[in-house]
A = this chain, B = another copy of it.
């Protein structure tokens, strides 16, 4: 009997996250205080974030134990399946030597990879005795994951959701409410930052950077609250490495190993989560896998941004992060892949890109949705708009191998399903969906605000 899904038994689930910092040839540059421009202190970071997460953010240990209560919750949906996309391969009429596998993170209760970090963050917050958390969300995948995790560990959660997505995806708000979280469209009138944004432009559809500013402002005004972030930072990517660790064991189970690993790219946690374990093998000289980050053409920080210190949020409240960025005031087009609408990349992934240790490609909205429909019609699963970028990149890799007459084993991460994003598909099917390509002048303008600190 042919095997389709590859799943690890609970007893073989990874019990440690992998910290790429331990193996980086050039370590990431430190975060800087936004005022003094000096490296941030643990004290400042602890004021914003949960302490254990700050420890992990600054850790250089290679392996970090996954606490047992976190493992217990992971087991609700993990190990996530690795599957051979046989029906997709057939539709593409690929020669036998070209194989496409996908790691299916869409099976989590929140529908994406995001709970991998949300559960860990909620656990550490509750362990620290905290009760109030704030966060932001773009497409809503992170916010819903954090709502679920917060409820499981008895925390109150307030979510600022980018208004574009809040309007496009009303069901995400209902999801978060069902898990007990309070949700506000950002810009909102509940913070100074939000009110200023609304005063400048009452129709402001919001950005992830703006939503972060609102969530952080709330924490700075409430001693007992902490902020949590769903991507960009090292500790978030750390938690997501469970994806790649499982994926590597699953490929071993079928005696295969990827030539190419692909993840869509917003802040870096999904991409880093699937790619870093394979990058470790590259760095150790044991294996050679090409790693590809797929970003949207309308938000091309990796392919066209600058490597420079920049704020993580639009209002400049967060520490300065060394990142590939389009500038923190950059306002991407209102594409449906809300989770990829972020101006910068995390410090670790940025350093690795600068060092040429992975590749980046940019993909247009219409093409990505077309790949999503093809995937839905062949493999059955309707992918999140974010994930369709990885699918399109995987198809391009398959086609390139075919043209070159080469064999190639391709693995991509299906970061989430699109059940809550069906409006994107409706728009695609009706022909209303648009592509957005930035001119060089537009990019030059948005990055011109960056101070040259590197």
Contacts and interface: CB of A to CB of B under 8 A. Distances in A.
A373 interface: yes
A111 to B, nearest CB: 7
Nearest to A115: B380
B76 A174 contact: no
Interface string A144-180: 0000100110000000000000000001001101111
A1 interface: yes
Interface stretch (A315-323, A336-344, A418-426): A418-426
A7 interface: yes
A399 interface: no
A380 B153 CA distance: 12
A15 B81 CA distance: 21
A377 interface: yes
6 contacts: A1-B10, A1-B13, A109-B376, A152-B377, A171-B422, A179-B376
A4 interface: yes
B178 A75 contact: no
A381 interface: yes
Interface in A1-16: 1-5, 7, 9-11, 13
Interface in A377-433: 377-382, 419-420, 422-423, 425-426, 429
A171 B177 CA distance: 19
B109 A76 contact: no
A174 B83 contact: no
A211 interface: no
Interface residues of A, number: 50
A107 interface: yes
Contacts of A107: 107
A72 B5 CA distance: 11
Interface in A425-454: 425-426, 429
Interface in A103-139: 107-111, 115
A152 B425 CA distance: 18
A100 B253 CA distance: 32
Contact of A171 (B3, B5, B419): B419
A87 interface: yes
Given A380-B109, A380-B152, A419-B111, A178 B5 contact: no
Q: How many copies does the complex hold?
A: 2
Contacts of A180: 377
Given A109-B379, A379-B109, A422 B72 contact: no
Contact of A10 (B4, B148, B178, B426): B4
B425 A177 contact: yes
A378 B77 CA distance: 13
Given A10-B3, A75-B5, A178 B419 contact: no
Given A1-B10, A2-B72, A5-B75, A380 B175 contact: no
Contacts of A2: 10, 72, 75
Nearest to A119: B380
Contacts of A109: 376, 379-382
B3 A11 contact: yes
A377 B151 contact: yes
Contacts of A13: 1
A174 B380 contact: no
A76 B179 contact: no
A4 B380 CA distance: 26
A75 B380 contact: no
B426 A380 contact: no
A419 to B, nearest CB: 4
Contacts of A174: 422-423, 425-426
A349 to B, nearest CB: 28
